[in-house]
Structure 1
Amino acid sequence: GHRSVSSKCGSADLLKAVGVNIEIPQKSVLDCLDKIGIAFFFAPKFQQSWQSSQGPRMEIGARTIFNILGPLTNPARIKRQLIGVYDTSLMITLAKVMKELGAKQVMIVHGEDGLDEISITGKSRIVELINGEIYDYTIAPENFQLLSAPLSSIQSGSCLDNIKILKSILKGKKSPAMDVAILNAAAAIKVSGRVNSLNEGIEFARESILSGKAKEKLDKLIDLTNDTKKQIH
């Protein structure tokens, strides 16, 4: 992940704001993955050749081809991945490229409202690569007993706004934001191979939140990334 380029708060901005140390050495990031099963790969630490593009991208302030190149150059060389795209014309091409790169299961998603994720405002298109086969289909919130909601209900502003939303979700407070988080988490869980369907993924994600396991995982990430004694240089 990276700091914000086309929005007010990127994934790196949010995690840093809630207390995750995103600047830890590469070996410490891998240690997080081994010890607690979660880690944040801060792009500038792993893709240093991209540093020179950050300034121009921020000046442009809009999505560019770099938003697509990021997943293609993932330093972890993972075989399973959830990728959000801003342009549906890229979806099939991206799936074919991921196939050529040896990916086992990839889900590429786009909301019809323009979001580069699965949305709850209406339909979302999914292009899924599973063991060499590419599937193209559309889903909607009602397919999963979720209520549709306007885009304004899931849009956020500053990092402070996003922190409040994240804390609310982790406390299990029902809201459109929680629904969209659960739906996208379900997609990631399905891609991981832990479940066979989005419905199963939704139940998995919901239980993780309501049981407190999701918050506990974030707390562990915060603690481990800030424990300098445990960091590997």
Structure 2
Amino acid sequence: MSRSSTERFVEHFVASNEFLQDELDGHRECFVHLINGTLANGVAESYLRTLANFHLDDTILSMAVDVVRDHMIPFHVDESLTTVDVCGTGGDGQNTFNISTTTFFVLAGAGFHVVKHGNRGVTSSSGSSDVLQELGIPVVASVETLHKIFDEVGSVFLFAPSFHPVLKHVVPIRASLGIRTIFNVMGPLLNPANPTHQLVGAYDEQAAQTMAKTLHRRGVEATVFHHLDGYDEWVPFGRGSCYRTAPQQAQVIKSERSYKEFHVPQASEKDLHGGSIKENAHILRQILQKEAEAPKIDTVCMNTAMAIQTIHPDTSLQEAMERARHSIASGAALTVLESMIKVSHVDS
């Protein structure tokens, strides 16, 4: 489909405000032109804004993910390794500190190979790469340097723009729109290391269910969840919906969990508030140094425990929480951070 044909399709889609499955090929062409930068910004904004009006279907999400992955620069890891990614969609509007980024270090300190895929803040003020940069880890690095970090530390952060250069055309469009779009949901599904396991937080339940179905299609063992108070992270109050995927399962399995199952005291929303990039980096380091307030440490341990259970479903939640707490208490999580900083700057 030519650009002019695609633009006519967008005009039709916007005017009809109707999503039809038999028009999937038209949507595929929209994404091809969108990521190649051959769709005018105004047309692209209209398309993404209209698409955001609909509940996401796993067929269009899978299609969009496939289009972007076709242009992805892969990060190869030993296929015999168990690898895991922990991330959220962002866009939940809760102004928390960087929970999944902190979880990255605690999970790595517990002995797991974490290949975290992340970006700068787009719909939030402080993305994972913003905080890592502030901590002294250069996120823009050569593939050789990243492999060296992974080989020596056992875990690594993969900066999304380095592996998805075609998405540079989408960045100004998303910034201009200032709303959640399909790209919030796509991000966690585009890890260039193809991790064997994922823990993913979603900004709403529909997104969680759709992402889980998409991961299930790809054969990834994952837990996708949404906290019913609006968070894309596990927090020490309220309940959350979980969608569990595994290759041996015929379908995605849904369950609900309460913070009480983690045996942590109930906290409040303000206990989890973050701030600027500098403030969030300080909070992350405080947690790893065992100097943060208990609710923040509990929150990170809860998310770490859920990741551990995703990898080892037979592990009890209590045992998973103990492994997470030990990673912090022993200094192992902090060692991962310091080692990553050191290795990142060797020969730089």
Note if 1:181 corresponds to 2:300. yes
**Match for residue 128 of structure 1 among 221, 232, 244:** 244
Note if 1:111 corresponds to 2:224. no
C-alpha distance in structure 1 between counterparts of 2:184 and 2:276, whole Å: 21
Does structure 1 retain, via aligned residues, the 8 Å contact 2:236–2:267? Answer: yes
Does structure 2 retain, via aligned residues, the 8 Å contact 1:12–1:22? Answer: yes
**Match for residue 257 of structure 2 among 130, 139, 150:** 139
C-alpha distance in structure 1 between counterparts of 2:284 and 2:143, whole Å: 26
Q: Once the 2 structures are TM-superposed, how far is the Cα of residue 193 of structure 1 from its aligned partner? A: 3.2
Other structure's SS at 2:285 match: helix
Quick check: 110-119 or 206-215, which moved more?
A: 110-119
C-alpha distance in structure 2 between counterparts of 1:166 and 1:195, whole Å: 29
Other structure's SS at 2:306 match: helix
Counting matched residue pairs gives: 228
C-alpha distance in structure 2 between counterparts of 1:224 and 1:120, whole Å: 34
Match of 2:266 in 1: 148
Match of 2:136 in 1: 19
Structure 2: which amino acid aligns with 1:118? W
C-alpha offsets along residues 77-124 of structure 1, whole Å, 9 cap, x if unaligned?
122111111120122222221121121x10101111211111223112
C-alpha distance in structure 2 between counterparts of 1:20 and 1:137, whole Å: 37
C-alpha distance in structure 1 between counterparts of 2:236 and 2:162, whole Å: 33
1:29-44 matches, cutoff 5 A: 29-44=146-161
CA RMSD of aligned residues (A): 1.7
Does structure 2 retain, via aligned residues, the 8 Å contact 1:26–1:46? Answer: no
C-alpha distance in structure 1 between counterparts of 2:271 and 2:254, whole Å: 28
C-alpha offsets along residues 167-222 of structure 1, whole Å, 9 cap, x if unaligned?
22112234211111111111222223397233222111100000000000110011
**Match for residue 338 of structure 2 among 210, 213, 219:** 219
Other structure's SS at 1:40 match: strand
Structure 1: which amino acid aligns with 2:345? N
| 41 and 141 in structure 1: CA distance in 2 versus 1, 3 angstrom threshold | same
- Give the TM-score, by structure 1 length: 0.91
Does structure 1 retain, via aligned residues, the 8 Å contact 2:219–2:247? Answer: no
Q: Once the 2 structures are TM-superposed, how far is the Cα of residue 39 of structure 1 from its aligned partner? A: 0.4
Quick check: 168-177 or 154-163, which moved more?
A: 168-177
Match of 1:166 in 2: 284
Structure 1: which amino acid aligns with 2:230? G
C-alpha distance in structure 1 between counterparts of 2:213 and 2:320, whole Å: 25
Match of 1:75 in 2: 192
Q: Once the 2 structures are TM-superposed, how far is the Cα of residue 52 of structure 1 from its aligned partner? A: 1.2
Structure 2: which amino acid aligns with 1:155? H
C-alpha distance in structure 2 between counterparts of 1:47 and 1:195, whole Å: 35
C-alpha distance in structure 1 between counterparts of 2:305 and 2:340, whole Å: 21
Identity of aligned residues (%): 32
| 13 and 203 in structure 1: CA distance in 2 versus 1, 3 angstrom threshold | same
Note if 1:100 corresponds to 2:222. no
C-alpha distance in structure 2 between counterparts of 1:59 and 1:119, whole Å: 31
Quick check: 65-74 or 55-64, which moved more?
A: 55-64
Quick check: 170-179 or 5-14, which moved more?
A: 170-179
| 226 and 62 in structure 1: CA distance in 2 versus 1, 3 angstrom threshold | farther
C-alpha distance in structure 1 between counterparts of 2:253 and 2:266, whole Å: 24
| 118 and 37 in structure 1: CA distance in 2 versus 1, 3 angstrom threshold | same
Does structure 1 retain, via aligned residues, the 8 Å contact 2:216–2:246? Answer: no
Does structure 1 retain, via aligned residues, the 8 Å contact 2:287–2:296? Answer: yes
C-alpha distance in structure 2 between counterparts of 1:166 and 1:44, whole Å: 23
Match of 1:198 in 2: 317
C-alpha offsets along residues 45-70 of structure 1, whole Å, 9 cap, x if unaligned?
01111111111222333332111111
